[in-house]
């Protein structure tokens, strides 16, 4: 039987969906924001000028200029004129609780749940394969990403995302790793919120230990259950918090 192209083929519908690109300017801004978030670029530090930035990232000078002005508008950099002038990373640029809350309230409960489901599917697939492929060195690296209970929320958030990326690295699947990075970018600064809660930090620290143990003992089932629980802990916290705005 031949499928008629005029029939309601869902795969065909996707072909004709308009292509939206995030744009090069957004891409450059995203890179710089990421560099700030991970501590590579710090407050007060001077940024390269347009020409240098353009050359380093392989974009045109126009794109670099637009990106710098967009970063200035969103308060990530400040510009000083004169002899000691230039663009500098602003003083208060780290992801803030206020910004994360604003992001949370923009999302619907449905969006949060769906994102969590996708995140769980990818992370669980990584964890299952990681449990098959792990060696002693992998486990040592993985455990180094389990944060201490008294670390600050920012380093907790970073450690949690690095922990899951390490699970993907142990699974040794480039595709799953790329998907995980994309999902973490979609979650954005949201994950900062639960990390400020001692109860959440205590619960997740236990889960992280369980996941590492399951991957070490080559138990795919337990590893999958563990990472799913880790993501549920985050989503449940976010949904509880989001409900308070109604």
Q: Residue 168 interacts with other proteins (CB under 8 A)? A: yes
CB of 23 to other proteins, least distance (A): 18
Cα–Cα distances (Å) from 11 to 3, 17, 123, 179, in that order, read: 12, 10, 26, 21
Name which position in 154, 172, 197, 203 contacts other proteins (CB under 8 A): 172
Name which position in 178, 186, 202, 221 contacts other proteins (CB under 8 A): 178
Lookup: tokens for 49: 């000028």
Q: Is 189 left (phi over 0), alpha (psi -120 to 50) or beta?
A: alpha
Name which position in 48, 86, 188, 220 contacts other proteins (CB under 8 A): 48
8-state DSSP, 92: S
Which residues pair with residue 80 across a beta bridge?
Answer: 86
Question: E strands of 63-220, at which residues?
Answer: 77-80, 86-89
Interface pattern 105-144 for other proteins (x via CB under 8 A): ---------------------------xx-x---------
End-to-end CA distance of the chain: 52
| Stretch in the footprint of other proteins (CB under 8 A) among 77-85, 145-153, 172-180, 232-240 | 172-180
Q: Residue 220 interacts with other proteins (CB under 8 A)? A: no
CA angle 202, 207, 212 (to 5 degrees): 130
Q: Residue 94 interacts with other proteins (CB under 8 A)? A: no
Distance in angstroms (rounded) separating the CA atoms of residues 228 and 207: 10
Provide CB contacts within 8 A for 25, sequence distance 6+. 63, 66, 67, 70
CB of 133 to other proteins, least distance (A): 6
Q: Residue 76 interacts with other proteins (CB under 8 A)? A: no
Q: Residue 169 interacts with other proteins (CB under 8 A)? A: yes
Contact between 182 and 119 (Cβ < 8 Å): no
Q: Residue 40 interacts with other proteins (CB under 8 A)? A: yes
Distance in angstroms (rounded) separating the CA atoms of residues 117 and 128: 16
Distance in angstroms (rounded) separating the CA atoms of residues 54 and 232: 41
Between 86 and 188, name the residue whose CB sits nearer to other proteins: 86
Name which position in 29, 32, 104, 238 contacts other proteins (CB under 8 A): 32
Q: Which of 170, 190, 192, 168 is nearest to 181 (CA)?
A: 168
| Stretch in the footprint of other proteins (CB under 8 A) among 38-46, 90-98, 104-112, 229-237 | 38-46
CB of 196 to other proteins, least distance (A): 25
| Stretch in the footprint of other proteins (CB under 8 A) among 5-13, 96-104, 153-161, 168-176 | 168-176
Residues that bind other proteins (CB under 8 A): 31-32, 35, 40-42, 45, 47-48, 52, 56-58, 132-133, 135, 165, 168-169, 172-174, 177-178, 181
């Amino acid at each position: 039987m031949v499928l008629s192209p005029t029939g309601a083929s869902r795969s065909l519908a996707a072909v004709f969906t308009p292509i939206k690109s995030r744009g090069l300017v957004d891409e450059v801004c995203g890179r710089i924001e990421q560099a700030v978030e991970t501590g590579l670029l710090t407050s007060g530090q001077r940024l390269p000028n347009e020409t240098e930035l353009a050359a380093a990232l392989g974009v045109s000078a126009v794109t670099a200029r637009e990106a710098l002005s967009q970063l200035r508008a969103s308060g990530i950099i400040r510009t000083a004129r004169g002899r000691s002038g230039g663009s500098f990373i602003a003083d208060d640029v780290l992801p803030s609780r206020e910004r994360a809350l604003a992001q949370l309230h923009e999302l619907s409960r449905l969006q949060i749940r769906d994102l969590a489901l996708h995140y769980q599917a990818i992370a669980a697939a990584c964890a299952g394969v990681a449990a098959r492929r792990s060696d002693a060195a992998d486990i040592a690296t993985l455990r180094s990403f389990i944060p201490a209970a008294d670390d600050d929320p920012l380093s907790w958030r970073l450690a949690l995302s690095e922990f899951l990326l390490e699970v993907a690295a142990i699974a040794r699947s480039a595709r799953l790793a790329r998907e995980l990075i994309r999902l973490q970018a979609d979650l954005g600064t949201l994950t900062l919120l639960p990390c400020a809660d001692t109860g959440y930090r205590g619960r997740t620290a236990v889960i992280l230990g369980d996941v590492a143990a399951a991957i070490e003992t080559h138990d795919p089932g337990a590893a999958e259950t563990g990472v799913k629980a880790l993501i549920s802990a985050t989503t449940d916290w976010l949904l509880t918090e989001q409900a308070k705005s109604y």
